Amino acid sequence: MLRRMAAPAIGVVLLLAGCGAQGDGPLTGAPSPTRPAPPTIGADEAAAAFGLLTRLQDAWASRDCAEVAALTAAAESELAGRACRARRNGRPAPASLAYEDADYYVPDEPGDRPWVAALAHAPDPAYFLFTEEQDAWRLAYGPIPLTRDAPRLDAAETVRAVPADDPEDGLRARLVPQKHLAYLTDPAGLSGVRFAARDAVTRLRDELAGEAARVRPDRLDVDVRLVPGETRALALEGGGALVFHALTIAYRQRGRRGEVDHPLFGAAAVRHFTGKTHPRTLTATELIVLATEAGADGTMRTVALRRSLADITAT
């Protein structure tokens, strides 16, 4: 069970593991083996995780790609390679990481790798998710700017992380990435996966369907892939889950008459990543990071989404 505690001094809503009564053990015989207690995460640990954003912003500003790699994990580590090195060739830094006024959500059963989710309210609402790896906090997802109002977490008494083996919310959470893959690769709508007409993922699918026409006479192929990693989810009030996940979109562009005429991400981005000015082929990778509401009724709604250019190669 998780308990909700306010910490006004640092603008935090912290969900901490509750304490349960321990049953009577056997009076005789050897003690049965017990598993080590999961790591305890409190206010200081949650604040430390969120505090690494300052270090990460400094690393991006100083083009310290080794530090960026050390401070990121999961989806965000996709940007620690060529996207970071492109900064040395003049590519602008990512959006500011100067976020504050956060609500923190700490799972009661963090597993082998503790993690913390956060909803920062300033300067604009955005989700973050941090994981602990090699005894250090890293940013796994974020910032993910909200595209609609944040759903209400089951925060009164029983807010919890949704375990992967949960037969209801856990199953819904596990299926969310696959459903996104099916939806985005099915412009005809034959997969049966549905999003609302104004949903951010619907707009993304419509944009992908129109990209080939926008770069003519160049040829363009688009491939959507899931980012490997464990899906993280928090329980919602009334059932369902808030799922954090990511995917990548690979764009392969070829000039029909030799050189590429209309680089999808612009000529400046091509120069920053590749140093080339007249490529014949381009391969670009875009990172899509999402927070998705998987409702108890089977519906999906995009709560937050961010797109970042991760790589461009050229020949």
User: Across all residues in the chain, what is the average pLDDT?
Assistant: 85
C-beta of residue 103 within 8 angstroms of C-beta of residue 155: no
- pLDDT of 295 strictly over 80: yes
Q: Looking at the domain assignment, is residue 170 inside a domain?
A: yes
Q: Looking at the domain assignment, is residue 26 inside a domain?
A: no
What ranges make up the beta strands (E) of the chain? 2-7, 12-17, 100-105, 115-122, 126-133, 136-145, 219-226, 232-235, 241-254, 281-294, 300-314
Q: Looking at the domain assignment, is residue 116 inside a domain?
A: yes
Q: Which has the minimum average pLDDT: 14-18, 27-31, 94-98?
A: 14-18
Q: From residue 211, how far is each of 34, 195, 215, 222, 228 by CA, in Å?
A: 56, 20, 7, 9, 26
* Residues of the chain by 3-state class (helix, strand, coil), percent to 5: 25, 35, 40
The identity of residue 193, as a single letter, is: V
Q: Looking at the domain assignment, is residue 113 inside a domain?
A: yes
Number of domains comprising the chain: 1
Q: Looking at the domain assignment, is residue 25 inside a domain?
A: no
The identity of residue 33, as a single letter, is: P
Q: CB-based burial of residue 277 (10 Å sphere; 0-12 exposed, 13-18 middle, 19+ buried)?
A: exposed
Q: Looking at the domain assignment, is residue 31 inside a domain?
A: no
Give the structural domain span for 265. Answer: 2-19+38-314
Half-sphere exposure of 74 (CA within 13 A, CB side): 26
Q: State pTM to two decimals.
A: 0.84
Question: What is residue 167's predicted lDDT score, i.e. its pLDDT?
Answer: 61
pLDDT in tens, 167-213: 677 788 899 999 999 999 988 888 889 999 999 999 999 999 999 99
Question: What is residue 188's predicted lDDT score, i.e. its pLDDT?
Answer: 82
For 104, the token pair is 């923190």
- pLDDT of 9 strictly over 70: no
Contacts of 277-281 with C-beta under 8 Å, sequence gap 24+, read 279/255, 279/314, 279/315, 280/254, 280/255, 280/314, 280/315, 281/252, 281/253, 281/254, 281/255, 281/314, 281/315
* Residue 119: other Cβ atoms inside 10 A: 22
How many residues are given for the chain? 315
pLDDT in tens, 23-80: 444 444 545 445 445 556 777 888 899 999 999 999 999 999 999 999 999 999 999 9
Q: Looking at the domain assignment, is residue 28 inside a domain?
A: no
* Residue 62: other Cβ atoms inside 10 A: 12
- Higher pLDDT among residues 286 and 258, named by residue: 286
- pLDDT of 16 strictly over 50: no
